[in-house]
Amino acid sequence: MNILLLGPPGAGKGTQGERIAERLGVPKVATGDVLRAAVREGTGMGLAAKGFMDRGALVPDDVILGIVKEALEAPAMARGVVLDGVVRTVPQAEGLRRVFSELGRSLDCVLLFEIADEEVVRRLGGRTVCERCQTPYMGKAPGDPCPKPGCGGKLVRRKDDEPEAIRTRMRAYREQTEPVIAWYRGDGTTFLEVDALGDVEEITERVMTRLAQCGEANG
Ligand code: AMP
């Protein structure tokens, strides 16, 4: 099953994507994770992407489509994939359709995480991530040790979770990503909306119930 997660930054796509992928037994591809790893490793792509990411702007479509194509061509992805944080522009949606079609596949459904702007600001402003294992946490301070047993990393604030970058990310979502919603609705792809407010477990259950409507989720 091939699923795409859509929704503003901070809607919980990463957390839920992890859980959905595990339940469905397919890998997750998060372009943000791939880009952050490239930045850490100092690759050419990482160096080119860092400036966009730090200020909360979108990385150019050709870079993103390159990541997606390479990921989807891997044999591990043949059974399906959960796409998190991609697509974020209409040209990316068109490019993804081309990539899938070259592989003889198509998207089974788009899942839109719905959440109010004030909640996005609250979540991103209160988020820290472990610099080692990259797990996000709420309600912990930068400098705290990572709560994950055996990790030993330190929690930091993502540069793009600073107030100015949060504003840029929300503007990018409104101006560049929201048009993708209409594009998928017009494209005939199964489109499901899910309320992204609530506790993690509850939202996963909500998502799985909605996914069953895609037909193949239970099969
Ligand atoms: P995320 O972890 O999904 O919030 O992504 C972090 C940052 O990576 C974004 O603010 C963008 O700078 C960049 N990024 C990730 N995915 C995409 C995408 N599909 N299109 C453009 N930029 C992206």
Q: What percent of the chain has pLDDT over 90?
A: 81
How far is C-alpha 94 from the geometric centre of its chain's CA atoms?
18
The long-range contacts involving 201-208, CB below 8 angstroms and separated by at least 24 positions, are: 203/12, 203/16, 204/16, 204/19, 204/20, 204/23, 207/16, 207/20, 207/111, 208/20, 208/23
Angstrom distance (rounded) from CA 164 to CA 167: 5
Question: Which sequence spans correspond to the domains of the chain?
Answer: 2-27+74-115+171-217
CB-based contact 101:48 (threshold 8 Å)? no
pLDDT category at 217 given cuts 50, 70, 90 is very low
C-alpha 92 to ligand 1 mean position (Å): 12
Instruction: For residue range 113-160, list pLDDT tens digits in order.
Output: 999 989 998 888 899 999 999 898 988 999 999 999 999 999 999 888
pLDDT attached to residue 213: 76
Architecture of domain 2-27+74-115+171-217: 3-Layer(aba) Sandwich (3.40)
Angstrom distance (rounded) from CA 160 to CA 146: 20
Q: Which residues participate in catalysis according to the annotation?
A: 13, 88, 127, 158, 169
C-alpha 49 to ligand 1 mean position (Å): 9
* For the CA of 169, the nearest atom of ligand 1: 10
pLDDT attached to residue 218: 37
**Strand partners of residue 192:** 111
pLDDT attached to residue 215: 61
Angstrom distance (rounded) from CA 168 to CA 151: 32
Give me the mean pLDDT over the 106-112 stretch. Answer: 93
pTM of the model: 0.90
Give me the mean pLDDT over the 45-58 stretch. Answer: 94
* Pocket residues: Cβ below 6 A from ligand 1: 9, 31-32, 35, 52-53, 56-59, 64, 85-88, 92, 160, 169
pLDDT attached to residue 212: 86
Residue carrying structure tokens 């109010």: 116
Give me the mean pLDDT over the 80-101 stretch. Answer: 96
pLDDT attached to residue 214: 74
pLDDT attached to residue 149: 95
pLDDT over 70 (residue 112): yes
Give me the mean pLDDT over the 180-201 stretch. Answer: 93
What strands, in cross-sheet order, belong to the sheet with 136-138?
136-138, 127-130, 155-156
